[in-house]
Structure 1
Amino acid sequence: MVTTTPKTPDISAVRTVPTTVKDGRAYTVFRMVNVVLLVAICLVTLYPFVNLIAQSFSSQGYIMAGEVNLWPKGFNLTTFERVFGDERFWSGYRNTIIQTVLATTIAMVLTTTMAYALAKGHLKGRSFFIGLVVVTMFFNGGLIPNYLLITDLGLKNSVWAIVLPNAISAFNLLVMKSFFENFPAELEEAASIDGLTTYGVFGRIVVPLSKAVIATMILFYAVSFWNAWFPAFLYLSDPELQPVTLYLRNLLAGAMGSGNEAGMESVQIGANIQAVAMLLTVLPIICFYPFIQKYFVSGVMLGSVKG
């Protein structure tokens, strides 16, 4: 019996692959252009907000003369004291918080459950219901029919006139449906084998693993309800129920004079107050966003791409 010794491969004959690839000139130029464009977009985006802060701490004369840009001129806190002392502002703020929290909670419950149901291929009439949702993205009942409906239902001057008509967003619903369609079916099957019902699978398995898209939808709904003033303008004639956005709208409308002396005076009085009111109105959303920013991009991507 002849034994052969395996030959050792000639390592010197093997070409080594470089571990780093040097960027070409075209790619370097591309990256530099991207950086410049992104910085420019950031500056353009930040300028209005920085200007708003500067106007909030500036005196009326400098604002009306157009001399306030990125830094306050004629520094004063009188307008903040005036707005803080206005009970209508704090009443509107309280109403906005209540309406936003209530409306977002109801919207998330309805949107999440409906999206989960529509994501199931065995649902009878699934195509019909999805088509019904898509149609609402292009057509609606119209302003006057909606107003008559809310009035006939007795919802005027109640928080439900703000909450119920906008309880489900078709866009948010379709995004969540797409996300649930990509959810691993094996996890749901394993949970069902362990004895969980459909509601148990949804509440204990699906929802905890869907934090990204849920956080994104909460942001979408909360910002939408927080900024909305037109529904309150239509349905809430009671000042005790009006949100802070409607208070801000009334400030802006009241500051637009008709060209007479009284009108010019109202513009001069309202310029600083408008800046302070706008700053205080958008501040909660700006403070809230960083806490869910990490979920934002991943939630949109997971919900918008069909795997």
Structure 2
Amino acid sequence: MQTSRTIKIKESRGDRVLLIAIHTFLTLCSLVVLYPLIYILSASFSNPFAVISGQVWLYPVDFTLIGYETVFKNSQVLVGFANSFFYATVGTLVAVTVTVMMAYPLSRKTFYGRNLLMFLLTFTMLFSGGLIPLYLVVKDLNLMDTRWALIIPNALGVFQIIIARTFFQNTIPEELSEAAEIDGCSDMGFLFRVVLPLSKPIIAVLVLFFAVGQWNAYFDALLYLKDNAKYPLQLVLRNILLLQTTENPTNISETMKRQGVAELMKYSLIVVSTVPVLVLYPFIQKHFVKGVMIGSLKG
């Protein structure tokens, strides 16, 4: 009966020193990234005067929910959550569909004129019409003060098309398409039955890119929307913070109190607006990393 032996390779002193240096550097980088997040979370649960006086370093001081209570007292917050969820969901669905439908043909060598079309798309990354022409286009399309004003102008991203096209080029071989064509599969059938099931990593990348962009967007809403019932969460939270800081208090103590609450609300607003994205990321992390690595390679 043979027993398996584990072969251990002895590390040299230089390798150990290098590994220690790498782990130390990565640990410091992690601390640099994590500490601001921990501070924001701790400050959002701390007493306003403790935050202003700089007593908060790592843990909450005088635990309180004043910041969150002030935020959620406004009825517009739930409306903003619903609107942002709608914009993120529908906007991501539209953007991913348009991106895949454009990126896949550009990845096929049999698509006539793909180089010219790719050049025109890349050209828009260097030169664009600017904010005023975009505003006039949205206005002429009668999209002002509609939900589509936040979805259609952001339905196409050239950077995302380049990543998706590169993924398709490196992952879906031409031979697979030819074999499917011989078996009688149409182009649309090949796309839905073969390409999309094999493209979960890049779809996860596109979903995260577009969803985060739609969730954090507020400038377009500031330009195109007038109805408060259509405001996304980011714009609602901005208005709450501005209202809190612009109201005129009656005395000095009231002034200090409002300043403290306004300072506390900044951290509470950051937590409220980032939690949905943090909840989404773990579910697509595996596909996201794989898709970025493959899609970022030069095709």
TM-score by length of 2: 0.90
The equivalent position to 2:46 in structure 1, one of 58, 68, 71, is 58
Count of aligned pairs: 290
- Residues 101-110 or 63-72, more deviating: 63-72
Letter in 2 for 1:36: T
Distance, in Å, in 2 between the alignment partners of 1:227 and 1:168 is 17
Tell me, in whole angstroms, the C-alpha distance in 2 between the residues paired with 1:141 and 1:94.
Answer: 32
**Where does residue 263 of structure 2 map in the other structure?**
271
| 2:182 corresponds to 1:193 | yes
Residue number among 101, 118, 127 corresponding to 1:139 in the alignment = 127
1:280 and 2:272 matched:
yes
Aligned with residue 300 of structure 1, among 292, 295, 298: 292
Q: Tell me the residue number matched to 2:239.
A: 250
Q: Secondary structure at the match of 2:134?
A: helix
CA distance in 2, matches of 1:24, 1:252: 58
Q: 1:12 corresponds to which residue?
A: none
Distance in structure 2 (CA, Å) of the matches to 1:270 and 1:295: 39
- Aligned counterpart, 2:3: none
1:108 matched residue in structure 2: 96
Inter-CA distance 84–248: structure 2 relative to 1 (3 Å threshold): closer
The 5-angstrom pairing of residues 205-216 of structure 1 reads 205-216=194-205
Tell me if structure 2 keeps the 8 A contact 1:251–1:274: no
8 A contact 1:157–1:238 mirrored in 2:
yes
Counterpart Cα distance in 2 of 1:65 and 1:210: 51
Distance in 1, Cα, partners of 2:113 & 2:119: 10
Greater CA deviation, 256-265 or 296-305?
256-265
Pair 255,293 (structure 1): closer, same or farther in 2 beyond 3 Å? same
Q: For the Cα contact (< 8 Å) 2:66–2:261, is it kept in 1? A: no
Q: In the superposition, relative to structure 1, how do residues 266 and 135 fare at CA in structure 2: closer, same or farther (>3 Å)?
A: farther
Output one character per residue of 1:149-169: Cα deviation in whole Å (capped at 9) or x when no partner.
212221111111111111111
Cα distance 1:90–1:114, how it changes in 2: closer, same or farther (>3 A)?
A: same
Instruction: Give how far 1:236 is off.
Output: 1.2
Three-state SS of the structure 1 residue aligned to 2:101 is helix
* Matched residue, 1:89: 77
CA distance in 2, matches of 1:138, 1:34: 38
The aligned residue for residue 223 of structure 1 is: 212
- Distance change >3 Å, CA 80–CA 256, structure 1 → 2: closer
Q: Distance in 1 between matches of 2:11 and 2:121?
A: 48
Counterpart in the other structure of 1:67: 55
Percent identical across equivalent pairs? Answer: 38
Q: Decide whether aligned partners of structure 1 residues 44 and 251 sit closer, same or farther in structure 2, where only a CA change above 3 A counts.
A: farther
* Residues 110 and 168, structure 1, Cα contact 8 Å, conserved in 2: yes
Task: Provide the rounded CA distance (Å) in 2 between the counterparts of 1:264 and 1:129.
Answer: 59
Q: What is the CA distance between 1:252 and its match in structure 2?
A: 4.2
SS at match of 1:154: coil
Counterpart Cα distance in 1 of 2:30 and 2:130: 37
Paired AA for residue 94 in structure 2? I
Alpha-carbon distance between aligned partners in 2 of 1:240 and 1:141, rounded to the nearest angstrom: 30
Q: Which among 12, 19, 35 is matched to residue 47 of structure 1?
A: 35
Name the SS of the counterpart of 1:76 in structure 2: coil
Unmatched 5+ stretches in structure 1:
1-17
CA-to-partner distance for each residue in 1:211-232, whole Å, 9 max, x for gaps? 1111111111111111111111
AA at the equivalent of 2:234: T
Deviates more, 1:175-184 or 1:185-194: 185-194
SS class of match (1:37) = helix
In 2, are the aligned partners of 1:108 and 1:218 still within 8 Å (CA)? yes
Deviations 1:94-121 (A, max 9, x none): 1000000010000000000100011111
Q: How large is the Cα RMSD of the aligned pairs?
A: 2.2
Q: Aligned residue for 2:224?
A: 235
Q: Residues 159-209 of structure 1, C-alpha deviation per residue, up to 9 Å, x if partnerless?
A: 111111111111110011011112122222222222210000000001001
- Residue 151 of structure 2 aligns to a residue in which SS? helix
TM-score, with normalisation over the residues of structure 1? Answer: 0.88
Amino acid at match of 2:288: F
Match of 1:121 among 91, 96, 109: 109
Between 1:206-215 and 1:261-270, the stretch displaced more is: 261-270
Q: Alpha-carbon deviation of 1:255? A: 5.2
Instruction: Give the letter for the 2:126 counterpart.
Output: F
1:163 match: 151
